[in-house]
């Protein structure tokens, strides 16, 4: 019973971290940074002052971080308790296998099962294809239920003269949707697309023939006012 509970809590923990990463990404964080922040919050480790500012500066991110921290503590307490009980020799007569296996051997069998379970679960959640499918499925449910308000426009850095770097999500009403970068004529508005973030993939320095798809995030450099007017007029 304790062994099964440990494995269930472990699977739930991996899933919660993945959901937290998706939630952070929807608030404007880059995917690799979102995964690290979700893991940091869940385990309460890995923060630096600069990274903590990314969370504390946004009310939505603070709520996500708070939930991850609470769930992380609860999950670790449960896993430690079930792990310890799994390594205790079973009471004779209270275990189905006690008549066939020596009580002194059972803790080692349980430990072996735990190690294998951790390895299998880790491989499943880090396997590129499986992880991508799981991430996309979870993201669709989160967006569909409107659990997290997705950030469609974020100014990442501001330089002098009104110029800066911004990240803009391409939605169904975007003027550049289904156009190539050359067809979008962003360069005529003094806007340079530095990279396109598409699901888990980042396309750096995209060519003029690169087509802009629904759900893409454009990392742009240019006059911030022009970026707002051309790519997200509702923000202007």
- Position with higher pLDDT, 236 vs 159: 159
Mean pLDDT check: name the lowest of 19-23, 25-29, 118-122, 227-231. 25-29
Q: Enter the tokens of residue 215.
A: 């759900």
- Residues 22, 135: one domain? yes
State the Cα–Cα distance between residues 28 and 51, nearest whole angstrom.
14
- Which residues span the domain enclosing 77? 2-144
- DSSP 3-state assignment of 185? coil
- Residues 43, 102: one domain? yes
Each residue of 105-123: pLDDT tens digit? 777 777 888 888 888 888 8
Is 117 domain-assigned?
yes
Contacts of 22 (CB under 8 A, 6+ apart): 34, 135, 138, 139, 142, 148
* Tally of domains within the chain: 2
Is 236 domain-assigned?
no
Is 205 domain-assigned?
yes
- Say if pTM beats, i.e. exceeds, 0.85: no
pLDDT at 93: 45
State the Cα–Cα distance between residues 222 and 230, nearest whole angstrom.
11
Each residue of 136-170: pLDDT tens digit? 888 888 777 766 666 555 555 555 567 888 888 88
Quickly state the pLDDT bin for 236 (edges 50, 70, 90): very low
Each residue of 37-94: pLDDT tens digit? 888 888 887 665 556 666 666 677 888 888 998 998 888 888 888 877 777 765 544 4
pLDDT at 235: 44
- Residues 12, 129: one domain? yes
Among 116, 144, 172, the domain-final residue is 144
Kindly report the CATH number assigned to the domain that includes residue 201: 3.30.70.1450
The Cα-based distances of 211 to 71, 152, 171, 203, 207 in angstroms read: 40, 19, 14, 11, 9
CA atoms within 13 A on the CB side of 69: 12
- Residues 45, 114: one domain? yes
- Residues 136, 176: one domain? no
């Amino acid at each position: 019973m304790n062994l099964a509970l440990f494995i269930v809590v472990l699977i739930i923990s991996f899933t919660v971290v993945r959901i937290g990463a998706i939630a952070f990404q929807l608030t404007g964080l880059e995917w690799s940074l979102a995964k690290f922040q979700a893991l940091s919050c869940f385990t309460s480790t890995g923060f630096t002052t600069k990274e903590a500012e990314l969370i504390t500066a946004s009310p939505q991110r603070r709520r996500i971080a708070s939930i991850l921290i609470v769930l992380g503590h609860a999950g670790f307490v449960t896993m430690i308790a079930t792990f310890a009980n799994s390594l205790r020799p079973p009471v004779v007569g209270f275990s189905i296998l006690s008549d066939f296996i020596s009580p002194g051997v059972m803790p080692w069998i349980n430990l072996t099962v735990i190690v294998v379970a951790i390895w299998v679960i880790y491989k499943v959640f880090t396997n590129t294809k499986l992880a991508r499918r799981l991430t996309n499925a979870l993201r669709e449910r989160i967006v569909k239920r409107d659990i997290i308000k997705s950030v469609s426009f974020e100014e990442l850095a501001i330089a002098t003269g009104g110029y800066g770097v911004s990240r803009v999500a391409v939605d169904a009403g975007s003027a550049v949707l289904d156009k190539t970068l050359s067809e979008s004529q962003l360069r005529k508005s003094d806007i340079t697309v530095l990279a396109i973030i598409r699901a888990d993939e980042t396309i750096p320095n995209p060519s003029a023939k690169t087509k802009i798809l629904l759900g893409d995030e454009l990392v742009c450099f240019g006059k911030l006012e022009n970026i707002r007017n051309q790519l997200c007029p509702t923000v202007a």
